Copies of this chain bind each other. A is one copy, B any other.
Amino acid sequence: MKTSARQRGAAGPHGALGTRDRIVRTASRLMQRQGYDGTGIKQISQEAEATLGSVYHFFPGGKQELAVAAIRHGEKEFADELREILDGEDDPAEAVVACTRRLAEGLRASDWVDGCPVTATALGTAGRVPDVQRAAAEAFAHWRRLVFDRLRRAGFAEDDAHDLSHTVISTLEGAELAAQVSQDDRPLHAAGRHLARLIDLHRPGAARS
């Protein structure tokens, strides 16, 4: 019996999730918007409809452990979306453009509030909380790996795929950041067009300068 039927009666904005899941999802969403220091444990427990006791029951390591779980949750969420988009297009260049469109839609739909789920948390704790920094680094590495694998599957050379996967993730992150700060999705659209050109340039069999 991992999660018993002891949960509150399916009410509230959360589905039939267990208490632990509600806490992690809420923490992830709040830290994405307000950063690590801007998000209080009590705020998380309230919005997750859990009590302080439950939070410290599931996360005895306190705020740091909760932040790591929140980052890992955000990582998986975006990884699933990324994988779906990358596999949904025949051409990797078009797939990357689709990514920028999706990011722009998400930003606009949230009124420019919901950006990357790990950036705000990671940046606000730069060198202070090693566990958080490590989890954020793993998130970036994982996302980059997804792009790398997609390029390899399309026949790109290993070195090219490696470098391109770096730049694709960096540029997606940077363009989302610029779009969020400027409240304008043009940075994302420009990034999409340019990344597509760049991928075309390194396409296997293409002429190289």
Contact = CB atoms under 8 A, between A and B. Distances in A.
Interface of A: 33-38, 111-113, 115, 118-120, 122-128, 133, 136-137, 140-141, 163-164, 166-167, 169-175, 177-178, 180-183, 186-187, 190-191, 193-194, 197-198, 200-201, 209
Contact of A170 (B38, B123, B125, B175): B175
A163 B190 contact: yes
16 contacts: A34-B126, A34-B128, A35-B36, A35-B38, A112-B126, A140-B178, A166-B186, A166-B191, A167-B194, A170-B177, A170-B190, A173-B174, A174-B174, A197-B201, A200-B209, A201-B201
A113 to B, nearest CB: 5
In the complex, the count of this chain's copies comes to 2
A20 to B, nearest CB: 26
A141 B118 CA distance: 24
Contacts of A181: 118, 122-123, 133, 136-137, 140
A123 B35 contact: yes
A123 B123 contact: yes
A130 to B, nearest CB: 11
A63 to B, nearest CB: 12
A206 to B, nearest CB: 10
A112 to B, nearest CB: 7
A124 B121 CA distance: 8
Contacts of A174: 169-175, 177
A124 B120 contact: yes
A201 to B, nearest CB: 6
Given A178-B140, A178-B169, A37 B124 contact: yes
